[in-house]
Structure 1
């Protein structure tokens, strides 16, 4: 290559790929490639054919190579923007594709995704990450989640996208083998890693490791900061990473972004954009910036690709029961015990008062669950007090902000017998009285009503998901279901994966274990009819495959838990309306407080619905903004209130819930966030999927000398030898290859499902992009078809989509502009041409034709390339009808 390379000359580089010359400086040439501008050695560049040169000569290229190049460009363009060809094994939804499109408009990306529960955050994360991993832009990935959700993230990203994350554990991180020096794709517990900011005895290998190309944080509300209490350790961990410039792109997921205090909300946003969000700054101007940093989609507006709503409203019904005489006597006595205990505790100061109040609140919550639960706690407490009279133990405080729902429930269940200080004088005698009243009660009316509900209100064999707060109540329910419906009808999930004192089929009583994943799988497959869970299934597990019926055996005092419970069934993939039943004793103060609370939340909903453009279930947001501790205290204090004055007390106590400031904050937040709107965006969504890749794949392999064989279980192909020589990880032969997400692919699904990210397909795509055809005749084309690429003239804007393609042709006398996915559909319908390519002269005015079609595309650039600052069109390929006139 000796002649000076003119600007815009198309060239190819072995490392950087295709590009165009900016300026030829002699020994080196400055070239603009897809993602960067580089100064490269002139000797490494190869001039590639250009359409303008081919048009001036009128010489045609091979139709197959040209068609493959055009298909490869279109496939890459569609997937880079939407992730639609990623190898997810679930059907993709419009809002998920839109989230991928929105996030990938910028690089590095910085977003908070606050979608409603059940809309597929793992899928959204995979769609965002997969194109970036496939293109090599993301090589180091870190996913941070609560400890109990770490296995779920590892499993789902592997099964749905073949993204293989290595779980972090302290046991694998030793001085001899530094985990962070070798692991590039990691999932870790954020609660485990937060110790990296507190242990000053040693340098942090984690914080000193190489920067991460992308970090994903689940349950990001744990990254909390408070004006008075300071920052949680999880927040400090992310801030320490940011200060050390260890995070390039950051993606946060949470269903409750605003926890009631603007300071915490703005602090969370400051992790994403510290230059635009400050917790001590004015709120209003910062809310105006939310569309560029926060996304929220909700079930009320989620649709399929045809615009049909996906979710039907959840129906909630109560089933009432009454106490037996013995139960009423026990509860009245317990109420007096608690009132006396609270009176005694209120006379104390400091931690002594806090410890006693905490025990009393826990006893109230256990009693609201079942007599079995409170009896178990009373017995254990009686044993402790008898064994350790006069001793006391300090209560270690823990922050609700850093606990999962199951952690909180487990803490509550332990508290009565971990705190050894007596509640009041004479407590042992009072406990003996309560235990004596509770012991004869072996058949609880609540459980009788539950069995009657299942027997009388539900169809035979209807799968049912049941929730309890405590294991003692869980064991009671499991025994009752086994007694009525037979042993083997019921599985359970709890934090310990074990239940004690369960009656076995042979009549003996003992322990039974159910691993969490095994219990969920048995329920989803239909091996058991019932699944009884504590809050251990309230997060991070999908149970919608067969089940659409949920029963709240007891009601947690944190309303957020109700939303999490229902979210196990009301999520994508649910094919039936979800029905929820609540077991309720109207004579209890707890039931009356729930009635008042639900009525208040409905009034808030109505107030917001009148001013919001679209329906949004804001109960979750209002509850989240109010905080779990408020509701805990509300129910605890209400238990000792006189029934006649309960309503007035409740109104005074909850005056700030849904107050004008809260409603205004919710309106401002929801009114400013970015959200998917099918009416506005639906027409631009790519209406292509994995089957649209098969034509390119088969044609590419055939051109490489390999025949694709169609078998009953999928495609079979022998890999081209030059491909395996260049990439040792490719197999010599593949069989059972499928371009269908809905197919039952079994255990080998990760290797059989073909799409972007499959090693063989990625190799084919790379070879297709390197094809050099620019002008060709093709069969089954009636009008000329122009393919153009669009690039941003302004560099450094940070878009993760550096190049996209579009097409233009004539249809019914008008020029029709084709988006990249429409172009791919058009290309898939074309065929190879046997017309001669050498010494052929085209008799039509090709430059004028090119100019006409390119001008039509230019007119639609604002919508085609919305993520670009100054998009510029470059003509790439022109296809001509096979019968176009030619002369030798």
Structure 2
């Protein structure tokens, strides 16, 4: 289905590619390399006795439960085995809890061998809920058929618990010592390098936090039992204060820790996908360092030998491919068996270790390499990816995105007004103190954007700079910026309604700019899009037109006294202006959104509904198979069948819900526009040579446009859109020039607006300044590429312009 969607160009932007293959449009890798190392160790004699005792107990009761088809019991015992592999603390506490619960059931004369849910159901639960269910299984399910057998099992658990307490009491856990060796080798104590440690068990997490703090490290942690606010705070603590974070699988979901590049898997999940999810917390877009990952494996245990063999095979494949891509597709190196299946075979002793390890050689390395390449859909991507469309989307995003300098300037001014303390430090901002009223945000804002912290040690408003400097990237959607925007809107809402007065230094505008928020909603009453509209109303002719809201950057604000001394009145009809906005602005915006939504809806119908229908058929077949096997006398638990029936019903509900959602998503309507504010714009006067002459400017535009055509490019005149450039020009290779045109009647300095200068800094090599001199007589064109780098303008605050006097020395005469 994926192949079909790509070939039909229904979904050209979705490709399953391994992160190691991804490059930017300059062909530079998006992800730095990662080095994965297996740290092999052997258990101490005491640890070995504990391991053998627990594993023999698990093997005995696992096989007994398997013979009686008590699948919940077998699953409970694998949980116990995983706790054993995690830490002495985890197995000790698990054994004690199981002992106490089974003893309680024995005293009540109860035997519990089944519950109403299975392993597959538990895999889909949130970690907190999964832990709760797993403890329930582990503590009360038994393979015992009689109370006498249960009594014998309880006695064995008491012996094993005593053995576990002895091991823990000696505080010589080998794995912990191996962790310390890794930390010493990476020189953690002598540096600020951060370390992320993963474990499956909450008991192990608490044990590690306790030990690491005793060693003198600053430590934070995250696990599934923590609420959203606690997780966000832990992530922020790790970024700004703590050197080490200990995390369970919950930390492998939804958090970004690319400021950390050292990771240790204290225990290895039996599901390889979870291993890759863990690695993905640090090996992700924005990571600037080579990532080091250490897997701790006890090679003298049953599961350890299997993991050792797996990692050896993956290492050979990795060396052949020249990348670490193999961890994304572990399943491709095994035939018909999962990693968990092999480990369970070893624990239950159903096959010899030699037989199990041979499974890794059933697929030769060269065949496995081919499967890895096939899994990444390399050929499919090469044949069918619509690169032109992707580049077009990237181009539009670059042109339309909110310039970081705007956000930074807004934040600086807002911080001053709101009492946020910040200082410049090594090219970044250090936000030293955020007042309580800014941090004390309503729950809805916290749930959507996250918690606002008291301090941010390293902040940048530029994405590339933030990534390279391992700083916090503050943009729209960041909790701090969203809280600041909310506070400014609340504090100045009334004042904004009173309006303001600005001066147009160019002397071209005399009227009012009305600012509206336009919103389009869908059939679910969910916002499909919001846009800020600016409508310019001329003072005399009352003509209406749209202008770019960024025009404010090019105007000079007047103080209260100057505003009162000016003519502020301007006849207006609010209904007329709103009507113009709805018919000329919102309707076009709705069409733009609807076109995109209709295309997405078609894809959802064509592939989403088909996928659900296919899964429903698979579920029907599974239910039918269960019933057939039961009729033949096989013992299929009723709970297993009912779980599948519920799953099938849930799939049908999802299908119907998706159909309704698709219908609602293409039903768009515009809400009534909201007036945000208005500004009165008065015409100012440039001094001397800086006076604008529309006729001269028009001739300059014609000269620039003709030059572009002679050079074989396709120029587009956009000077009325206030984009920060006058011409967008491209050649047949899709190379773009963003051209600002300055025309002089004779010669002299040129003036750039703040918007033009910011766009020059943003677009760099793609931004060009075209200066036409002697325009009134014999026009001469001079061109300057990347003026932000080559020119040193003088900022004239009084006229809100950047004056460039030495442009000719940096320019090239155009033929």
TM-score (ref. length: structure 1): 0.45
**If you compute each CA radius of gyration, which structure gives the higher value, 1 or 2?**
2
Q: Which has the higher helix share?
A: 2
